[in-house]
Amino acid sequence: MNAEIINRTIDAMCSEIKAQGGAALNWRLLTEDEMLYEAAICIFGSQMQFEMAVATADRLRERGLLFSKQLTGMTDCEVQVLDALSQPLSVPGKGGGVRTVMPRFRNRLASLLATTVTEMYGKGHSLRRLLFAADNAKDARKALMLNVWGFGPKQASLFLRRIGYCADLAVLDVHVLDYLHLTRGIRIAPSRLGRLSCYEEVEDTFREIASRFGHSLGCVDLATWLTMRVAKREAYL
């Protein structure tokens, strides 16, 4: 892959993302159930492709398993979530078609979501309360990591971006890490980014790169993810 071409593509992609900025969610207007749906996508997205994570969250919402009031006090939440994940999902395939797949790591995902529901709502917390109580985006990220099982720095940052909370946090996905290696020669093992201190160090490096594009960190991060994902896919064709 050519770094110059990649950077030009990222720059063009940033302009497109910025032009579509009006479609972003307003976190202050989201209900707790809408936030829980987004959180589920981010939990699942760490274990599967994004499209499949969305399909998995859609399945749970259809089953009534992402409604906070219904989940509070439910004694068999994990069993019901596991049952919902034990059936094939329909996700977008190549050429506009549809393919049927089974969710991976079903037991782990069911456990993470059920534990989050039990611990967070059982203690009287909620996603909305956590966010409104935070002083800034980094504080919000820390609070989410402490209360949402399956949320590390990357998942919490993705959640905050998706709900429109903040555009100044990076989602250091493998595609972004590959970009850092391609353009800066920086090689980072994804496992190291589970530590917030290491994550923020790499995030600061990427923030400096983003400033050169003249767009927000979140915008450049998303544009990099989209660009590298397609470039890597085409490189293997």
Same domain, 57 and 98: yes
* Greater pLDDT, 72 or 209: 209
Please provide the DSSP assignment of the chain as one string: --HHHHHHHHHHHHHHHHHTGGGS--GGG--HHHHHHHHHHHHHHTTS-HHHHHHHHHHHHHTTTT-HHHHTT-TTHHHHHHHHHTS-EEEE-GGG-EEEEPPSSHHHHHHHHHHHIIIIIHTT--HHHHHHH-SSHHHHHHHHHHHSTT--HHHHHHHHHHTTS-SS-----HHHHHHHHHHH-----GGGGGSHHHHHHHHHHHHHHHHHHTS-HHHHHHHHHHHHHHHHHHHT-
Task: For residue 181, give its domain range.
Answer: 3-23+169-235
pLDDT in tens, 68-107: 887 777 788 899 999 998 988 888 777 777 888 888 889 9
Taking only Cα atoms into account, the Rg of the chain, rounded to an integer number of angstroms, comes to: 18
Half-sphere exposure of 127 (CA within 13 A, CB side): 27
Q: What is the CATH number of the domain that holds 118?
A: 1.10.340.30
pLDDT, residue 162, reads 93
Same domain, 37 and 127: yes
Q: What is the CATH number of the domain that holds 204?
A: 1.10.1670
Percentage, residues of the chain above pLDDT 90: 61
Residues 6 or more apart in contact with residue 32 via CB below 8 angstroms: 68, 126, 127, 128
Same domain, 42 and 83: yes
* Greater pLDDT, 138 or 50: 138
What is the token pair recorded at 233? 């896919």
pLDDT in tens, 9-52: 999 999 998 887 655 789 999 999 999 999 999 999 888 888 88
pLDDT in tens, 165-175: 998 999 999 99
Same domain, 74 and 13: no
Say yes or no to pLDDT of 199 above 80: yes
Exposed (0-12), middle (13-18) or buried (19+): which is 3, by Cβ within 10 Å?
A: exposed
What is the token pair recorded at 179? 């970009």
Calculate the CA dihedral of residues 11, 16, 18, 23 and round it to 10 degrees.
-150
Dist CA 77 CA 62 (whole Å): 15
Residues 6 or more apart in contact with residue 116 via CB below 8 angstroms: 39, 43, 147, 148, 149, 150
Say yes or no to pLDDT of 179 above 90: yes
Number of domains in the chain: 2
pLDDT, residue 22, reads 54
pLDDT, residue 21, reads 66
pLDDT, residue 213, reads 93
Same domain, 16 and 37: no
Dist CA 237 CA 230 (whole Å): 11
Whole-model pTM? 0.89
pLDDT, the chain, mean: 90
Dist CA 83 CA 34 (whole Å): 22
Bridge partners for 98 per DSSP: 92
* Greater pLDDT, 233 or 51: 51
Residue ending a domain, among 112, 142, 162, is 162
pLDDT, residue 127, reads 96
pLDDT, residue 235, reads 65
